[in-house]
Amino acid sequence: MTRQQHFGWFFSRGFGPQGWGRPDWRWGYDWTKPDLYQHSVRELEQAGLDLVIMEDAISIGTPETLDLRVRSAYGGPKHDPLLLAPYLFQATSHIGIVPTINAGATPPYLAARQAATLQHLSDGRFGINVVTDVKSARHFGLDELAHDAAYDRAQEWLDVVRELWHSWDDGAYIADAATGRFADGSRIRPTRHDGEYFKVDGPLNAIPFDGPSAGTGVDAFGTTGGDPAIVSPGGSGRGLGFAGANSDVQLALALLNVDAVRAYRAKVVEAAEAAGRRASDVKTLFVFKPEVVASEDEARRVVEASRHPSDDELRAVLLGQSSDSETDLTGLDLDEPLDPSIFGPHVSRGTINGLLGGAPGFDAQPLRDLLAKKARKGAVEDRSGFVGTAGQLADFIEELGEDAGNDGFIFSGDLHPVTVHRMLDDLVPELRRRGILRTSYAPGGLRVNLTDF
């Protein structure tokens, strides 16, 4: 029997200009209004996706990089995705909505209260994508933390949030009109946390969610099925450990082949079991950006064309790399090697390696050669990339499910109807024909849909 997999959508531009830089912009949607996102998310629910994860970056950059970040709307502007969530819930009935929350920026009491509220308003479909971004610390009068310390803070933050969610014990909320008793204060615990990063008094003044998903059990941390789902990215040892110990979904950025997927997923499972959880408690979903074409001949043409990028195409790649690294590379000579010393200490090694490729002799290669490798596409047919027909891409998805035990994928793209239809119109029917993609939702919210197979 074909292995069924879970699917989601990573809203990769965040609540910002959707379609900018492409002909899609001329559809005339106003990216600041909810209609565009409501239209798109209804299509994703019709497709049977489990969740939409909304990317966010609080900072628009340093004074030195502001123009670099906004000139092509690559790094901003962005509005707050948490405030978009209710509009998406209003437009749908089953799909989970998971905005990004910065554990260093949002106080845990406020985060716990907002999440509990949205869990009620959505009937159990809310989740939090917990990130440890430290580059925005200056906006909140905070010091920037080192990588591991940021995870220490995120763990403490989530522990406090969960303690607040659970400060109302069973039986505290009564609402018994016959006796006139609304709640039992003796069952509400006056929690107090005094830790390294946070000092928080409880209890929370929002009640726990008690919908159908609340009966799905309790894990090693006391998390109930009524809690909002937790999603986390991060491929470092600490990131995988955090996901294994805490998350319902690990948002995985990794190579997509059988051996790499199996090895990555094994690390998450190992971390989950080390924390006293079951392997099935966390779904590892790999970020995937397929390019669906009509025929095998077209796939070959697309791949071949990408091997000869123009200078304009190379500079578009360079602009994206500049925005990601918050380092202006756009004035560099394409025919000269890239000096790694141009990157300041604020740039992660992973970002630098992503451009340089880690290949021996990269420092002697002209910049255009490095960019050409980034621009190059590959055919899914020979597993060199993700350009292919719906059937070829379904073969690949099925292969990872059957041979690597993959839990599923997160499609990545902006939240625009053109992007959604271009990627999914032909792929969804093929995945459903094979039994890989769900055709209906289980009642009970996001946690239930993540665990119903």
pLDDT of residue 137: 87
Mean pLDDT of the chain: 92
pLDDT, tens digit (0-9, with 9 covering 90-100), for 164-179: 999 999 999 999 999 9
The 10s digit of each residue's pLDDT in 57-106 is 999 988 878 888 898 898 899 999 999 999 999 999 999 999 999 999 99
Domain ranges of the chain: 6-166+192-294+385-451, 308-375
pLDDT of residue 217: 46
Over residues 194-214, the mean pLDDT reads 89
When pLDDT is averaged across residues 147-160 and rounded to a whole number, the result is: 96
Tens of pLDDT along 431-441?
999 999 999 99
Tell me the per-residue pLDDT of 363-408, one tens digit each, with 9 for 90 and over: 678 999 999 999 999 999 999 999 999 999 999 999 999 999 999 9
pLDDT of residue 212: 60
pLDDT greater at residue 183 or residue 218: 183
Percent with pLDDT over 70 in the chain: 94
pLDDT at res. 350: 64
- Answer whether residue 421 shows pLDDT above 50: yes
Segment among 24-28, 105-109, 354-358 with least mean pLDDT: 354-358
Q: Is the pLDDT of residue 216 over 60?
A: no
- Of residues 93 and 140, the one with the higher pLDDT is 93
Q: What is the pLDDT of residue 361?
A: 59
Pairwise pLDDT comparison (214 vs 283), residue with the higher score: 283
Q: 6-166+192-294+385-451 in CATH: which number?
A: 3.20.20.30
pLDDT at 357 over 70: no
Question: Which residue has better confidence, 157 or 345?
Answer: 157
The predicted pLDDT at position 363 comes to 64
% pLDDT > 90, the chain: 78
Q: Is residue 3's pLDDT more than 90?
A: yes
Q: Are strands 387-388 and 291-292 parallel, antiparallel or unpaired?
A: parallel
Task: Select the more confidently predicted residue: 38 or 361.
Answer: 38
Per mean pLDDT, which range of 98-112, 266-280, 305-319 is the poorest?
A: 305-319
User: Which comes out higher in pLDDT, residue 96 or 2?
Assistant: 96
Q: What is the largest CA-CA distance in the chain?
A: 81
